Amino acid sequence: MSYVPSQTLAERAVAGDLRAVGRLISRAEASTEEARAALALIYRRAGRAHVIGLTGVPGSGKSTLVAKLTHVLRARGEKVGIVAVDPSSPYSGGAILGDRIRMTELANDPGVFIRSMATRGATGGMARAALDACDILDVAGYSTIIIETVGVGQDEVEIAHASDTTLVVSAPGLGDEIQAIKAGILEIADIHVVSKCDRDDAHRTLTDLKQMLTLGALTKAKPTWQIPVIGVSSYSGQGIEELVTKIAEHRAAFAGELGLERRRRVALFRLLKTAETVLLERFGSGAALLAPPLAAQLAERDADPYAAARALIDATIRKEYGHGLA
């Protein structure tokens, strides 16, 4: 099969060609240099979709909730894109698709596009190419895009800098009411969701989260958005319609000028992440050639790690940009 230029794939993706969408996302994941001009064009045309970030510890029912949310959104006529970030396989580097079995019922819906994406070592629960995937799905006509983070625990705060509405999912019996206090998890939520509310101990989790939010509000100026705590049950369907309504209310509340600060925060996150990726790629290509002699000196204790590291960075920058560190 001959190589299809990324610009051609971009044109096909805009026309709704699902194969082109999938192939372009793959090139974004692989960080293909040839694809970057096409991704740049797509970025300029994107921005219409509403991006929902969904995070929470493993076992809180994130994947099941995504499936239920998608059913309700589809019933309202929306096309839904799902970017499900999974842990990376230690062997292939690809996504381990353990939780996607809960979304198989959506696979035959032409209005739903599901893409599993490996973290590939990224911290914060986000895959590097997740936002590129959102742009591609945006221009392909998906009005709502859900990013489900990997579920690694307390460090998944990046999603708040990458989504228009952030949902933090807790579940009874997991100690999430304590975990939520740590590492900013409580603060990043636009909506707190307590799943599995058909369980007897769900009321305590709901009450604890509401009390913590009330205490936090006492120390801050009156916010533009009062963070709700919504109990849902994916088994019975309880609370799902209310959650979709709250998501719509949050989107409306942050439209226009009120959402400008958030959009700038998302743009800053995107800028820094992209710059980091480009720098790491350029450093990696130069370091592969320049590091072995320095490593040999380090092995013989003829240099210390800090001096060797600075020499490596300096030599790499000089090689890439024509000058060293100031």
Q: How far is CA 38 from the centre of its chain?
A: 21
Express the helix, strand and coil content of the chain in percent, nearest 5 each: 55, 10, 35
Which tens digit of pLDDT belongs to each residue from 288-317? 888 999 999 999 999 999 999 999 998 888
Q: What is the DSSP secondary-structure string of 46-68?
A: ---SEEEEEE--TTS-HHHHHHH
Measured N-to-C along each axis, helices 18-30 and 130-139 cross at an angle, to the nearest 10 degrees, of 160
Q: Is the pLDDT of residue 92 over 60?
A: no
Backbone angles phi, psi at 171, to 5 degrees: -140, 145
pTM score, whole prediction: 0.85
> What mean pLDDT is reported for the chain?
83
Q: Is the pLDDT of residue 50 over 90?
A: yes
Q: Is the pLDDT of residue 201 over 70?
A: yes
Which tens digit of pLDDT belongs to each residue from 165-185? 999 998 887 654 555 555 456
> Do residues 117 and 95 touch, judged by C-beta distance below 8 A?
yes
| Helix H or strand E encompassing 110 | none
Q: Is 21 exposed, middle or buried (0-12, 13-18, 19+ CB in 10 A)?
A: buried
Span 2-13, average pLDDT: 94
